[in-house]
Structure formats: C-alpha cells, structure tokens
Chain A
C-alpha cells in the first residue's frame, strides 16, 4: 500500500472515531473558538480605527504645521497663508486659485448621548477649497452647506450619533455663542465624521483665536511634495514642518493603534497558550485511548509516519472548525458595531485579513497541540501496547 493511501485510510478511520470521543474533542473546539473570537474582536477595534483613518490617505495632499509644538493652538496668520500659497508644486483649481486651505480647530465639549456626561469633540474650521479637496467621498446627507460669516455649522454622521442636540435645525451653544446646525455630512466612515465643521474665519472670530492652526494643500502631483516642502522649510519667514497628509494621520493614530494591537496580541497569545494545554490533553488522551488500535495498525505493517500524520490531521480537524466558529462569532457580534473610544466613534471591522489571522492562530494551536501526541503514537512500543488491557 502506498504511503499516501496509508495516511488516507488511517486518517479516515481516525476521524470516523471522533464522535465516540466527542466530549474531550469539544474542549479543543470550544477553546479555539473562544481564543479566536476574543482576539479578532480586540483586533477588530484597531482595524476599525485604521479603516476610519484611511480617508486621509490622499498621496497628493500635504499639511503644513508649526514646528516647535506638536498640537498648536494656531499660529498661521493670513500673511503666512499667502506665502505658503506661493510655494511651487501647488495645484490650481478650475478658476486658477491655488488649492490651499487654512484650517482652524478648537475642542468643544458636547453633551454625550450615553451616560449624560460631556465629551470633547473637535470643531473644525475649513472652507470651500477644503471641501473640494476632500473629494467625492465627502457629501451632505441632509440640509445644506454652512454660509461663511454666519454662525452655521454642519455635523458629521458619527458626531450626530454620539452627541445630543445635533439634528439639522437644532441650535447648539459653543462658548456662549449659538450655532445653527444646517446640514449633516458623511465622508466614507472617516474620522472627520466625528467633528463639527464650519467656516475657518468664522470659527476663529467666534473663539477669539488670532491665527489658523494648520494649512492643507493639494499638490499638482504626489512627486511635487519634496519641492514644496523644501521651499517652505528654507523660507526664513516661516517656521513650519510639512508632512504628507497620510503620514500625519498615521503619526497621530500610532499610539492608539499600537496599544490596541498590543492588547489584542497579548490577550490572544496568553489565551492560546491555555488552549494549547487543553488541546495537548485532548490529543494525548485520544492517543492513549487508542493504544491497542495504533499498535495493531503498526503490527499490520502500517508506517509510523502515517499514524503520526493522522493524529496531526485530527488535531487540525478540531482547531480549524473552532477558529471558524470563533471568527463567525466575532463577525456576527461585532463587525460594523459602533465603538466610542478616546473621543472618536467608528465602526469595528472584522476583516478577511483578520479571519485569516485567526485561522493561522488556530493552525498553530493545532500543530503544537498535536505534535507531541503524534510522536508518542509513533514511539509506542508495539508489543507492550498490544499486551495491555
């Protein structure tokens, strides 16, 4: 009998016997399902943040910030903005205006819908060019755009879900000034949807801020970045740092996503260790329970390796369905589930990549949990095993 056929027949016989060991086998399935469900749910939070931040991933856009401080309360005067607009590499819109958008951002406290407390939200001052730069993904879902000079604002979808009093037509008081909510917007689930948006100059005036906080520009092409950056950093009248928008967003979110991945892998790793012990137990007792059967097979001339492979296959056959159940649980319970964390709201994502990771995790558990018992099955002294009752 060829080696492959030996493996096939031993494995088939093995798996056919699984129902008789259902109790012990279920332990591995449940254990792996729990690990994978917990790990994918935790990592799904990080994946949600990354997905939400993807909106900023536009290679031809750059952001100009003040150097010397990490968050600034605003230090670009209109004169500075004019100088930035003269730098080479900036794209011009249909009307021939350079695509430069000075921005203001202030933190405001809003009434949270859950729990009754207040939470910090960002109130962004932008403008016509800024919205043009946000591209097709940015669109109003309700109402209309704000008008510059009036205390009108539009709110993101995620902000509307998190805070009270933000329906179109509502009036919200920010720093003693009433603002009218005139519209609601979506931007492909991006983090922008957590903010309130109005006209930059109106926001600065209302909050008594002397200067813009940052300047976003659209470049003629992504390759123009270096030229644009060099022109600004060598300008002695400006003290700025220039970053690609995507790099800036990644840097801002790195501490959060890094922490989330660490927690996910740490908890997933420790739990997996526990399940490996359980899987070893299951497979050892499976091998022990079939000592005579295995010895008989080997006495009949079956190759030891075929027996070992059949034990490994059984181990995988328990771990992989466990992983699928766990992934299905995580997906059903949490994919698309809204999370409010660190003042941001976003949807959790159990992505295909994560499900694959869960399967790999389960395969490793199956491999380690099956290897030592497989070796024991092969090294069993045939004569002794046949004699024992």
Chain B
C-alpha cells in the first residue's frame, strides 16, 4: 500500500498521454456498459414475467382471432383460476404509422382478476368499466403526448377499423405508473373490450388471445396442454404458452442480439488491448534508467514487476470505473426509451473483471521487460 503513491505518479508521468489513454479506456467501457446493459435488460424482461400467467393464442398465428365462445371452456378447465379475453389493439396517435402505441382492449373486471400484481390500480380499472370509450395510459405515454385524464385521444388501430368512421374516439380516464416488471401490460394502453369488439367492422365476437392465470404455478405446463387439448381438431386450435416462453420467443424473433453484442465488444477490446499495451510498453521503455535506479536502491525484480502491473491495473480500473459509472447513469434512459429494466450490478461486475483482465494482459509484457532489466546495461543506456 505504501507504494500506491509511486504507482499513481507513474500513471501520470506523461499527463497528456495518460489522459488520452484513460479517455480511450473510458470510452470502451462506456460502450461495453451500454450494450451489455441492453442485453441484461432484455434477459431481465424475460425473467421478470409472471410464473403463473399463460397466454392462449391461435395455433395458426398470434394475429388469428379466436371465438369468444372458448372463454367459458377455458375458465372451466381444471387448474385455471381466472381468464380474460384480450384484443390486440396497437395503434397510432397523431401520426400515420411512425409511432405505434402498444395497446390492448381488455374486459376490466376479469382483467383485474387475472393479472396478478397491482400493475394497474383498481380505481383506473373501475374508471374503464364506467366509460365505454375510455382508455388507461401508462405515465410515460401520457407524458410523451401531454395527455391528462379527461382528454380526448383519437386513435387509429393497427388492426381494426372503427365502424363509425376512421379513428377511434377514445377518452383518457386514467394514468398509471408503468411497471417495468410487467412486459406485456406494464407499458401499454388499455381500452374497453366490449367497445372495441362491438365497434370494429370485422372479427366481432372474437379475442386476439386469452390471458389465463393458473392456481398452481408449478402445474402451469399441464394446465396449458389441458387447455389446448380441449380445442384440438376444432377449426380454432389454440396454443397456450407461459408468458415467459412468449417473451423469450419474441426476443428471439428480433435476431441473435447476444452474438452481435459480443462481437462488437470483442472488437472494441481487441483494439483497446493493443492501445493500452503499446502505451505501457512505451512508458516502460522511456523509464528504463528510472527502473534501474529503483533496482539499484534494492527493489527486487518481482517488486518492479508488481509495480508496473499495478500501474496498469490502477489505470484500467480507474478508467473502467468512470466508463461504467457513466453507462450506469444512462441506464435509466434504456428503461425510458426501450422499457427494459437494467440489472446494473452484474453488468458492472463483469466490466470490472474485464478491466482486470485487460490490465494484466496489456501490463504483463512491459512488466516482464522491466523485471529482466539488467542494472548495468540500463544505467549505461544500452
């Protein structure tokens, strides 16, 4: 510990160069933190789904409607605690297509009974029940469009044409705090099932999917196959999956993001390794006489080795901490922008481990060179 000052002075021996090297390491760890934060948020979104919620959709595809007559059968299936019909409504507000609002039309009463946590306050659900054309918004959307309770919100649905005209004349009846742990409904707009179903020009009397809550989460997969078995060989075969499976599938459909992120991170650190390594090598080469003096004073070979590796460690950890810190400050942006909740701790831990690895790999060759230095040659300038 008493040599910490010596190490610190060594890092800053050439301030300009140290600053530039620090900046490139900070930069790399900032990028690492952001990309890895995104991936962790994505995986977290899957892990955060409810264990006891199943989604029943058409076996043909998720957009194929199912007749509402299936609802009583699903409710009567052994092991089912509650079930509610949902219409996928996704729409556009004030724009043609560029900004799509995730939205669902739900039956307020049975929805409240089926969705386990307090994602949407009971009061908002009650308000939805009393206003046919009401919508409940997540706070983020309300802020984005500057909407408050009582405002009109004409919506165009991605899928459904309103019989009366073009846009659906919705009205805001509630605003709720978005729940980052509820991927399906945590940040979506909710409308009234009956209003949308009766008002649309086609597919009346159908649901896009059913949300099913099971009594015992450990029996979820048996309940799922029991539901599907009842509709096997009917014109409307169903496919029931856990919310978790569905979330994992929809992320898989985007592409192999994990691979892309690892490839980018790999390239960044490959370049950085050379950058830091060359800088350390040069620094040691310039200080050859100083290192010889240290050895003359009685520093052992291994002490010199440790000193140089410590220098590399201090620099990399210092810069990595700044870079990861900056990334952590931006994590809330990922949450607001994409809706993922970043689990910061593992990302930061892996980042720091990576910094240690970087320091060792880039610091060892110059350190070994310093260790092998012969005092006589070094002092003679050979």
A341 lies within 8 A of B202 (CB): no
Binds B, one of A94-102, A114-122, A311-319: A114-122
Chain A stretch 258-297: residues in CB contact (< 8 A) with chain B? 267, 270-271, 273-275, 277-278, 280-282, 284-285
What would 28 A/B residue contacts be, using CB atoms closer than 8 Å?
Answer: A30-B270, A38-B264, A41-B263, A42-B260, A42-B264, A68-B166, A73-B203, A74-B202, A75-B161, A75-B201, A117-B249, A120-B62, A120-B253, A175-B237, A239-B161, A254-B98, A255-B98, A267-B264, A271-B267, A271-B268, A274-B28, A274-B31, A277-B20, A277-B21, A278-B24, A281-B275, A281-B279, A284-B20
A384 to B97, CA, bound (A): 67
B28 lies within 8 A of A107 (CB): no
A271 to B31, CA, bound (A): 8
- Select one of A30, A107, A255, A282 contacting B64, CB under 8 A: A107
A303 to B268, CA, bound (A): 39
CB closest chain-B residue, reference A278: B275
- Select one of A68, A118, A340, A342 contacting B167, CB under 8 A: A68
A107 to B159, CA, bound (A): 13
CB closest chain-B residue, reference A268: B264
| A35-B159 CB under 8 A given contacts A68-B166, A109-B59, A277-B24 | no
A23 to B277, CA, bound (A): 10
1/0 per residue B270-311: CB within 8 Å of A? 111011001101100000000000000000000000000000
- Is B61 part of the binding interface, using a Cβ–Cβ cutoff of 8 Å? yes
The 5 A-B residue pairs with the shortest CB-CB distance, nearest first, are A277-B24, A107-B61, A274-B27, A341-B255, A34-B271
- Select one of B165, B267, B279 contacting A34, CB under 8 A: B267
- Is A24 part of the binding interface, using a Cβ–Cβ cutoff of 8 Å? yes
**Using Cβ atoms and an 8 Å threshold, which residues of chain A touch B253?**
119-120, 342-343
| A24-B97 CB under 8 A given contacts A34-B268, A38-B264, A117-B252 | no
Distance from A299 Cβ to chain B, minimum over Cβ atoms (Å): 25
A69 lies within 8 A of B161 (CB): yes
A75 lies within 8 A of B202 (CB): yes
Chain B stretch 110-163: residues in CB contact (< 8 A) with chain A? 156-162
A251 to B95, CA, bound (A): 12
**Using Cβ atoms and an 8 Å threshold, which residues of chain A touch B96?**
70, 251
Distance from A53 Cβ to chain B, minimum over Cβ atoms (Å): 16
Known: A267-B35, A271-B31. 17 other contacts (CB 8 A): A27-B278, A34-B268, A38-B264, A42-B264, A68-B166, A72-B159, A106-B61, A117-B252, A119-B253, A120-B62, A175-B64, A251-B96, A255-B98, A274-B268, A274-B271, A281-B17, A341-B255
Distance from B157 Cβ to chain A, minimum over Cβ atoms (Å): 6
A37 lies within 8 A of B267 (CB): yes
B60 lies within 8 A of A175 (CB): yes
How many chain B residues sit at the interface, stated as a range, is 35 or more
- Is A176 part of the binding interface, using a Cβ–Cβ cutoff of 8 Å? yes
Distance from A177 Cβ to chain B, minimum over Cβ atoms (Å): 10
B161 lies within 8 A of A68 (CB): yes
- Select one of B21, B249, B255, B274 contacting A30, CB under 8 A: B274
A281 lies within 8 A of B21 (CB): yes
Distance from A45 Cβ to chain B, minimum over Cβ atoms (Å): 9
A37 to B159, CA, bound (A): 41
A69 lies within 8 A of B271 (CB): no
Chain B stretch 173-219: residues in CB contact (< 8 A) with chain A? 201-203
| A31-B275 CB under 8 A given contacts A70-B97, A72-B161, A75-B201 | yes
Distance from A120 Cβ to chain B, minimum over Cβ atoms (Å): 6
CB closest chain-A residue, reference B201: A75
A63 to B260, CA, bound (A): 36
**Using Cβ atoms and an 8 Å threshold, which residues of chain B touch A207?**
60, 64
1/0 per residue A71-96: CB within 8 Å of B? 11111000000000000000000000
CB closest chain-A residue, reference B268: A271
B21 lies within 8 A of A24 (CB): no
B254 lies within 8 A of A342 (CB): yes
**Using Cβ atoms and an 8 Å threshold, which residues of chain B touch A277?**
20-21, 23-24, 27, 275
- Is B92 part of the binding interface, using a Cβ–Cβ cutoff of 8 Å? yes
Chain A stretch 12-26: residues in CB contact (< 8 A) with chain B? 23-24, 26
1/0 per residue A199-210: CB within 8 Å of B? 000000001101
A73 lies within 8 A of B159 (CB): yes
- Is B69 part of the binding interface, using a Cβ–Cβ cutoff of 8 Å? no
A66 lies within 8 A of B268 (CB): no
**Using Cβ atoms and an 8 Å threshold, which residues of chain A touch B260?**
42
A33 to B255, CA, bound (A): 25
Number of interface residues of A (CB under 8 A): 61
Distance from A241 Cβ to chain B, minimum over Cβ atoms (Å): 9
- Select one of B159, B249, B272 contacting A69, CB under 8 A: B159
- Is B63 part of the binding interface, using a Cβ–Cβ cutoff of 8 Å? yes
A-B CB contacts (within 8 Å), total count: 163
CB closest chain-B residue, reference A38: B267
CB closest chain-B residue, reference A339: B255
A84 to B16, CA, bound (A): 72
Distance from A335 Cβ to chain B, minimum over Cβ atoms (Å): 16
- Select one of B156, B201, B264, B271 contacting A31, CB under 8 A: B271
**Using Cβ atoms and an 8 Å threshold, which residues of chain B touch A274?**
23-24, 27-28, 31, 268, 271-272, 275
- Is B30 part of the binding interface, using a Cβ–Cβ cutoff of 8 Å? yes
- Is A108 part of the binding interface, using a Cβ–Cβ cutoff of 8 Å? yes
Distance from B40 Cβ to chain A, minimum over Cβ atoms (Å): 17
- Is A174 part of the binding interface, using a Cβ–Cβ cutoff of 8 Å? yes
B60 lies within 8 A of A109 (CB): yes
| A270-B27 CB under 8 A given contacts A31-B271, A119-B253 | yes
- Select one of B61, B91, B97, B272 contacting A109, CB under 8 A: B61
- Is A233 part of the binding interface, using a Cβ–Cβ cutoff of 8 Å? no
- Is B222 part of the binding interface, using a Cβ–Cβ cutoff of 8 Å? no
1/0 per residue B238-277: CB within 8 Å of A? 0100000000010011110000100110011011101100
- Is A67 part of the binding interface, using a Cβ–Cβ cutoff of 8 Å? yes
A109 to B272, CA, bound (A): 44
- Select one of B64, B235, B252, B275 contacting A27, CB under 8 A: B275
A69 to B166, CA, bound (A): 8
**Using Cβ atoms and an 8 Å threshold, which residues of chain A touch B59?**
109, 175
A270 lies within 8 A of B61 (CB): no
**Using Cβ atoms and an 8 Å threshold, which residues of chain A touch B157?**
69-70
A106 lies within 8 A of B158 (CB): no
A107 lies within 8 A of B92 (CB): no
A68 to B27, CA, bound (A): 47
A31 lies within 8 A of B97 (CB): no
1/0 per residue A131-161: CB within 8 Å of B? 0000000000000000000000000000000
A70 lies within 8 A of B158 (CB): yes
| A66-B23 CB under 8 A given contacts A175-B60, A274-B272 | no
A66 to B275, CA, bound (A): 58
1/0 per residue B89-105: CB within 8 Å of A? 00110001110000000
**Using Cβ atoms and an 8 Å threshold, which residues of chain B touch A119?**
253
A176 lies within 8 A of B235 (CB): yes
A167 to B106, CA, bound (A): 41
